[in-house]
Amino acid sequence: MRLIGGAAIDKHRNPLPPETVAACMDSEAVFLGAVGGPKWSDPHAMLRPEKGLLELRSVLGVYANLRPVQVLDELIDASPLKREYLTGVDLIVVRELTGGIYFGKKTRDETVASDLCIYHTHEIERIVRVAARLAGERRNKLCSIDKANILETSRLWRDVTDRILEREFPELETETLLVDAAAMHLLSRPGDFDVIVTENMFGDILTDEASMLAGSLGMLPSASLGDSTRGLYEPIHGSAPDIAGRDIANPCGAIASAAMLLRHSLGLDDEATAVEKAIRAAIAGGARTADIVAEGDIAVSTTEMTDRIVAGLT
- When CB distances to Mg ion are compared, the closest residue is 204
- Quick one: what does residue 143 bind among Mg ion, ligand IPM, none, with the CB cut-off 5 to 8 Å set by partner type? none
**Considering the complex, what minimum distance in angstroms separates the CB of residue 95 from ligand IPM?**
8
Is 141 an annotated catalytic residue?
Answer: no
**Considering the complex, what minimum distance in angstroms separates the CB of residue 204 from Mg ion?**
4
Q: Is 198 left (phi over 0), alpha (psi -120 to 50) or beta?
A: beta
- When CB distances to ligand IPM are compared, the closest residue is 50
- Quick one: what does residue 96 bind among Mg ion, ligand IPM, none, with the CB cut-off 5 to 8 Å set by partner type? none
Burial class (CB in 10 A: 0-12, 13-18, 19+), 125: middle
Contact string 225-254 vs ligand IPM (x = CB under 6 A)? -----------x-x----------------
Is 204 an annotated catalytic residue?
Answer: yes
For Cα atoms 103, 107, 109, give the angle at the middle one, nearest 5 degrees: 155
Is 180 an annotated catalytic residue?
Answer: yes
**Considering the complex, what minimum distance in angstroms separates the CB of residue 145 from Mg ion?**
16
The residue among 240, 200, 201, 264 whose CA lies nearest residue 63 is: 200
**Considering the complex, what minimum distance in angstroms separates the CB of residue 219 from ligand IPM?**
14
**Considering the complex, what minimum distance in angstroms separates the CB of residue 238 from Mg ion?**
7
- For Mg ion, the closer CB: 200 or 302: 200
Asked if 264 and 223 count as a contact pair (C-beta separation under 8 A), the reply is yes
146 is a contact residue toward Mg ion (CB under 5 A): no
C-beta atoms surrounding 70 within 10 Å: 18
Is 192 an annotated catalytic residue?
Answer: no
Is 208 an annotated catalytic residue?
Answer: yes
36 is a contact residue toward ligand IPM (CB under 6 A): yes
Judged by CB under 5 A, the residue of 123, 204, 276, 291 near Mg ion is 204
Determine which one of 119, 146, 194, 204 is catalytic. 204
DSSP assignment of the chain, as one string?
Answer: ----HHHHHHHHS-SS-HHHHHHHHTSSEEE------GGG--TT-S--HHHHHHHHHHHHT--EEEEEEE--GGGGGGSSS-HHHHTT-EEEEEEE-SSGGGTS-EEE-SS-EEE-----HHHHHHHHHHHHHHHHHTTSEEEEEE-TTT-HHHHHHHHHHHHHHHHH-TTSEEEEEEHHHHHHHHHH-GGG-SEEEE-HHHHHHHHHHHHTTTT-GGG---EEE-SSS-EEE--SS---GGGTTSS-S--HHHHHHHHHHHHHTT--HHHHHHHHHHHHHHHHTT---GGGPPTTSPPPPHHHHHHHHHHT--
- For ligand IPM, the closer CB: 61 or 191: 61
| Site residues (CB under 5 A) for Mg ion, limited to 155-194 | none
61 is a contact residue toward ligand IPM (CB under 6 A): no
50 is a contact residue toward ligand IPM (CB under 6 A): yes
96 is a contact residue toward ligand IPM (CB under 6 A): no
Contact string 174-213 vs ligand IPM (x = CB under 6 A)? ------------------------------x---------
**Considering the complex, what minimum distance in angstroms separates the CB of residue 169 from ligand IPM?**
27
Q: How many residues bind Mg ion (CB under 5 A)?
A: 1
Residues annotated as part of the active site = 102, 147, 180, 204, 208
- Please give the residue ranges that form the binding site for Mg ion (CB under 5 A): 204
Footprint of ligand IPM (CB under 6 A): 35-36, 50, 53, 204, 236, 238
